[in-house]
């Protein structure tokens, strides 16, 4: 008599691995619902603080650097190194993050907390460099250029984790997309005739508006704090990034 035990074990192992690596949804817990809002505050405050303190560098709205770079080239003005390398650094970090997630998946390790921790490390290093340089240092020195690229790397990790580690979450750094989706969904809720489409639009809008509000709040915080404290204001997104790890750690594990 042939036992089915060796055949069933791999299937059970695959099911167990799927449970361990299942992507958490923002509907899993109240704390995870707040996570996109917190991440958006981080992106908004970091973007404005970096723009004001790092010589006009966009750390979250990364394609904005291409616009500023093109404008400077057309005007015949010198382009800071940070503008030139920001997009390549962002893309390279996205690829490394995806490779990191693939490694975590191989060992059935959920990626949300490791990615949030990686983002916090990048922002903490950027803050440390800026504190060492002083609140009003030349933004185009090699030290602050490195700090800017660390901040860009942190935002690359955040963009990746929303896609691969948090199901149902809107973008937390690209508000043009969110505003477009939210506006169209509001239109569908008000004027749509199909009940199923209206229901889906309500769900999307409920998930999208906190990200928009969080980014606007972050921008306001950055605009208020950077003129008063200089690049020391980077402590705000760094602390929020640390808090985001706590939000992820306190969610219920998959059953």
Per-residue model confidence as pLDDT tens digits over 70-94: 988 898 888 899 999 999 999 999 9
Tokens of 147: 């700090």
Q: How many CA atoms lie within 13 A of 83 on its CB side?
A: 19
Calculate the CA dihedral of residues 165, 168, 172, 178 and round it to 10 degrees.
Answer: 150
Domains along the sequence of the chain with CATH = 29-249 (1.20.1250)
Taking the C-alpha atoms of residue 179 and residue 209, their distance in angstroms, rounded to an integer, is: 8
Per-residue pLDDT tens over the stretch 136-146: 789 999 999 99
- Is the model's pTM score more than 0.85? yes
**Interval 107-131 mean pLDDT:** 96
Cα separation, 24 vs 211, in Å, equals 18
């Amino acid at each position: 008599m042939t036992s089915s035990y060796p055949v069933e074990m791999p299937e059970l192992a695959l099911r167990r691995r799927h449970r361990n690596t299942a992507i958490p949804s923002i509907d899993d817990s109240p704390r995870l619902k707040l996570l996109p809002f917190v991440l958006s505050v981080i992106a908004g405050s970091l973007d404005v603080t970096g723009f004001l303190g790092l010589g006009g560098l966009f750390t979250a709205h990364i394609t904005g650097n291409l616009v500023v770079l093109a404008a400077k080239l057309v005007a015949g003005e010198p382009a800071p190194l940070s503008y030139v390398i920001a997009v390549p650094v962002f893309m390279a970090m996205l690829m490394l993050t995806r490779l990191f997630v693939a490694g975590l998946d191989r060992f059935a390790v959920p990626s949300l907390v490791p990615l949030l921790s990686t983002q916090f490390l990048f922002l903490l290093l950027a803050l440390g460099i800026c504190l060492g340089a002083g609140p009003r240092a030349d933004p185009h020195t090699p030290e602050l250029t490195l700090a800017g690229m660390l901040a860009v790397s942190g935002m690359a990790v955040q963009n990746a984790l929303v896609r691969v580690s948090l199901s149902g979450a809107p973008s937390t750094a690209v508000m043009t997309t969110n505003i477009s989706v939210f506006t169209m969904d509001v239109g569908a809720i008000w004027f749509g005739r199909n009940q199923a489409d209206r229901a889906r639009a309500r769900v999307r809008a409920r998930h999208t508006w906190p990200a928009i509000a969080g980014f606007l709040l972050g921008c306001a915080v950055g605009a208020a704090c950077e003129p008063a404290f200089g690049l020391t204001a980077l402590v705000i997104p760094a602390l929020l990034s640390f808090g985001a790890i706590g939000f992820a750690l306190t969610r219920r594990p998959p059953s």
